[in-house]
Structure 1
Amino acid sequence: MTVRGVILAAGRGTRMGQTKQLLPLHGKPLVQHVLDAARSSVLTHLTLILGHAHEIILPALDTTGVTVLINPQYASGQSTSVHLGLAHGPDADGVMFLLGDQPCITPFLIDTLVHVFCTEQPWAVVPMYQQQPGNPVILGRALMREAFCVDGDTGARSLLQRHAAHVRHLAVEDPLLLRDVDTLEDYMELVAAVPPVDCSGC
């Protein structure tokens, strides 16, 4: 079985007041940490979805070996990037959706989620910390077509809730692995909490 990756980094980041994809974390932009972790994993193909400020973000990144797509409809919500990522890419048994503002994701966590998906073959795999679901999420073939029906900024949350009986949740012990950056306070807390040795690509 194969799983490809789609990195969602098209959003405007309005709560940050600036282009959060390029905020530095130990010398690298936030989204570069995600790219590096995904490239070091077992994911068979990577697609990066950009949108807002893509003309500034893309030149600042090392996207070697990554397919980059520009989402002109990013303002309509994350679901438009999900649709774009599903529609463009090689055939695979599953698609992992990673957030571009989740810089502490590691190749080990990605590989573990893929291993669970390939061995147990659920419809989806979702990491959890203390009963709270997080990202990245893997969607299997059973949910891919239905994922085209989600809209707005909910991503695949409604889809996963609707098919909860077929979703495999995987507990993680480190909350930093699932932490994303939505506000300036989130960013400052992350910078303070994460030494360089703990970052996926540092």
Structure 2
Amino acid sequence: MNAQRASFGSAIAGLAPPCLRISAVVLAAGLSARMGGSAKMLLDVGGVPMIRRTAQNVLAFAPTETVIVTGHRAEDVANVLADLPASCIFNRDFAQGQPTSVAAGVRALTQVCDAVMIMLGDQPLVTASDIERLASLYARLELESILVPFYESKRGNPILFASRHIPAVIGGGLNIGCRKLIETRTSDVYRAEMESDVYALDCDTPEDYARLLHRLEKMQ
């Protein structure tokens, strides 16, 4: 597994701050309720399923550990990720919403880390370089312990938070996916204004998917 992880990171070696250990949790459990009957994690994005492209980008950043949380169509999602150096865990409570998947993924982490990154599975345009920019900003924080990216005032993802928050996230005392996080944890949260809109893009509807494919064509 370590050898595989190294191969994914080789093209972007040295991106992560050298002394900062970041573990990644990728959320891929949702019902895709607004996608018109399609399981969005399995939709084709540049020749590969969406969740696989997202996972490959995360792995290229070379996190300390990567956990992918499944739920809806769990077996199919796990199958398209089977050869990647990441752990797939099933959230039996996935239908109750994203916070349960965040807690399940964080609970499944086994390696010591300094920070945890929560990545959405429908963010295939967020590259390892984009993640590195967030990690570099996080590494320079002095007072805040939660970093949330924004683009033109729109809240984005992934979110990074200090490992000391792990017990609160697992216990439900800190909802990292909650939009009220900024208001309730003012002293802990750093709003990172980013130059790229990829952090604020998601893929919930067929229209979103069409825009994603159009954007991908322009990038290639």
Provide the TM-score with structure 1 as the length reference.
Answer: 0.88
Greater length-normalized contact order (CA 8 Å, ≥ 6 residues apart): 1
Partner of 1:179: 201
Give percent identity, aligned residues only: 28
Q: CA deviation at 1:188?
A: 0.9
Find out whether 1:113 has 2:134 as its counterpart.
yes
Give me the whole-angstrom Cα distance separating, in 1, the residues matched to 2:164 and 2:176. 19
Q: CA deviation at 1:165?
A: 2.5
Amino acid at match of 1:75: A
Give the SS at the match of 1:165.
coil
Give the one of 78, 81, 102 matched to 1:82: 102
Larger mean CA deviation between 120-129 and 47-56 belongs to 120-129
Give me the whole-angstrom Cα distance separating, in 1, the residues matched to 2:180 and 2:90. 25
> What is the 5 A alignment of 1:62-73?
62-73=82-93
Larger mean CA deviation between 50-59 and 7-16 belongs to 50-59
Find out whether 1:45 has 2:60 as its counterpart.
no
Provide the TM-score with structure 2 as the length reference.
Answer: 0.82
Find out whether 1:96 has 2:117 as its counterpart.
yes
The answer (yes or no) to whether the contact 1:147–1:159 under 8 Å persists in 2 is no
Partner of 1:59: 79
CA RMSD between the two structures: 2.1
Give me the whole-angstrom Cα distance separating, in 1, the residues matched to 2:198 and 2:141. 26
Q: Assess, with a 3 A threshold, how the Cα gap between structure 1 residues 63 and 138 changes in structure 2: closer, same or farther.
A: farther
Deviations 1:73-115 (A, max 9, x none): 1001111111111111122111100000111011011112112
Give the SS at the match of 2:187.
helix
Q: CA deviation at 1:29?
A: 1.1
Q: Assess, with a 3 A threshold, how the Cα gap between structure 1 residues 154 and 88 changes in structure 2: closer, same or farther.
A: closer
Partner of 1:5: 24
Give the one of 147, 165, 174 matched to 2:187: 165
The answer (yes or no) to whether the contact 2:146–2:190 under 8 Å persists in 1 is yes
Q: CA deviation at 1:142?
A: 4.2
Partner of 2:47: 27
Amino acid at match of 1:157: R
> Where in structure 2 are there 5+ consecutive unaligned residues?
1-19
Report the number of matched residues: 197
Give the SS at the match of 2:180.
helix
Q: Assess, with a 3 A threshold, how the Cα gap between structure 1 residues 40 and 196 changes in structure 2: closer, same or farther.
A: farther
Give the SS at the match of 1:61.
coil
> Where in structure 1 are there 5+ consecutive unaligned residues?
none
Amino acid at match of 1:106: T
Amino acid at match of 2:210: M
Give me the whole-angstrom Cα distance separating, in 1, the residues matched to 2:30 and 2:57. 20
